[in-house]
């Protein structure tokens, strides 16, 4: 196989559309690269893939570490491939930029799904800010859709800002919870519950069954207090056991119900349009910034200004104004 450099954009696109996983992986590597030449090539590939994208269902899954996300995604993913679907699992884990090793990213996860020909699993790009991860994930979704993946699952840890980011790129948002831990213990903020289209209380097996059923009733009651959703969808609370494969089919049926409703009432398309508009502005913001900081004169002026600020010869505000006035 040719290297990334020797492979033409057209060859990439042709092979991605044929669901050639190795080309798909390498195209994602281009998307994730910070090398400008790689990014330029990635963008050419993306442009040609865009007409073949937008045809999957995108599901966000969040929950604190230990709630059972990877176990759940593994059985859920297997259930979907069993239905003949092609599933891509992507992760958004900004923690990988803050600490060595990520909360989500270890390789032993989802062993069965990894070996399923109809599943494609890609860990979160590492060493990135949340904004960087978001852009790369969005572009990766496009490539996976062009490769024919019908279901895109985006996993994140429910402890930071990343759920909002995931929410901004999926159609359906599923929150996994445990029955026996308070919300504070689970690090779940009210905002996340508000974003969720469904809450699945996991580990509903063995001695946990009674507790999970109780929690289900409590959550259902609590959800009633939230304002009605624009989608007209009434968020559901369900229980499941990822290890015992209980409630998995029902969760998929519920998600299907959501898609039927929102495609019928138009909310699905409205939300995607809204997300696309955000994507437009984020792309513009990114490009403006990257063009700006790569300019030689600007780089030199920034170095000079930092020295002047250190020597208290200029204040940061004036320095910034001066740099912004430089013609590019």
End-to-end C-alpha distance for the chain, whole angstroms: 40
Q: Does position 66 bind ligand GDP by CB under 6 A?
A: yes
Q: Which stretch binds ligand GDP (CB under 6 A): 35-43, 202-210, 292-300, 314-322?
A: 202-210
Shortest Cβ 109–ligand GDP spacing (Å) = 7
**Angstrom distance (rounded) from CA 151 to CA 169:** 13
Q: Does position 319 bind ligand GDP by CB under 6 A?
A: no
Q: Does position 242 bind ligand GDP by CB under 6 A?
A: yes
Cβ(170)–Cβ(274) below 8 Å:
no
Distance set, CA 205 to CA 213, 253, 271 (Å): 11, 21, 36
Number of residues that bind ligand GDP (CB under 6 A): 14
Q: Does position 82 bind ligand GDP by CB under 6 A?
A: no
Q: Which stretch binds ligand GDP (CB under 6 A): 24-32, 68-76, 83-91, 134-142?
A: 68-76
Q: Which stretch binds ligand GDP (CB under 6 A): 61-69, 270-278, 286-294, 306-314?
A: 61-69
- 3-state helix, strand, coil split of the chain in percent (to 5) is 55, 10, 35
Shortest Cβ 312–ligand GDP spacing (Å) = 49
**Angstrom distance (rounded) from CA 236 to CA 55:** 25
**Angstrom distance (rounded) from CA 43 to CA 26:** 13
Q: Does position 203 bind ligand GDP by CB under 6 A?
A: yes
**Angstrom distance (rounded) from CA 182 to CA 198:** 18
**Angstrom distance (rounded) from CA 86 to CA 69:** 19
Q: Does position 101 bind ligand GDP by CB under 6 A?
A: no
Question: Using CB under 6 A as the criterion, what x/- string covers residues 205-224 for binding ligand GDP?
Answer: x-------------------
Binding residues for ligand GDP, rule: CB under 6 A, are 63, 65-71, 202-203, 205, 241-243
């Amino acid at each position: 196989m040719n290297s990334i450099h020797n492979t033409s954009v057209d060859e990439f696109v042709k092979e991605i559309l044929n669901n050639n996983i190795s080309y798909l992986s390498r195209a994602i590597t281009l998307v994730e690269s910070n090398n400008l030449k790689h990014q330029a090539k990635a963008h050419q590939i993306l442009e040609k893939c865009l007409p073949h994208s937008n045809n999957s269902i995108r599901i966000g899954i969040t929950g604190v570490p230990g709630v059972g996300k990877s176990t759940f995604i593994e059985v859920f993913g297997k259930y979907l491939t069993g239905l003949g679907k092609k599933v891509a699992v992507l992760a958004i884990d900004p923690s990988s930029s803050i600490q060595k090793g990520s909360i989500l990213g270890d390789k032993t996860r989802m062993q069965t799904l990894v070996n399923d020909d109809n599943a494609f699993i890609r860990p979160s790009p590492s060493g990135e800010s949340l904004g960087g991860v978001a852009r790369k994930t969005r572009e990766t979704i496009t490539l996976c859709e062009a490769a024919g993946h019908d279901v895109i699952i985006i996993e994140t840890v429910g402890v930071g800002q990343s759920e909002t980011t995931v929410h901004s790129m999926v159609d359906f948002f599923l929150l996994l919870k445990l029955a026996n831990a308070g919300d504070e213990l689970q690090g779940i903020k009210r905002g996340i519950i508000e974003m969720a289209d469904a809450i699945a209380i996991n580990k509903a097996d063995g001695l946990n069954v009674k507790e999970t059923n109780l929690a289900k009733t409590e959550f259902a009651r609590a959800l009633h207090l939230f304002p009605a959703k624009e989608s007209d969808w009434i968020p559901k609370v369900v229980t499941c056991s990822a290890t015992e494969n209980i409630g998995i089919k029902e969760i998929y049926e519920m998600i299907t119900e959501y898609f039927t409703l929102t495609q019928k009432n138009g909310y699905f398309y409205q939300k995607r349009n809204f997300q696309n508009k955000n994507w437009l502005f984020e792309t513009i913001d990114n490009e403006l910034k990257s063009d700006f900081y790569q300019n030689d004169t600007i780089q030199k002026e920034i170095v000079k200004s930092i020295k002047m600020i250190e020597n208290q010869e200029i204040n940061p505000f004036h320095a910034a104004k001066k740099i912004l006035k430089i013609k590019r």
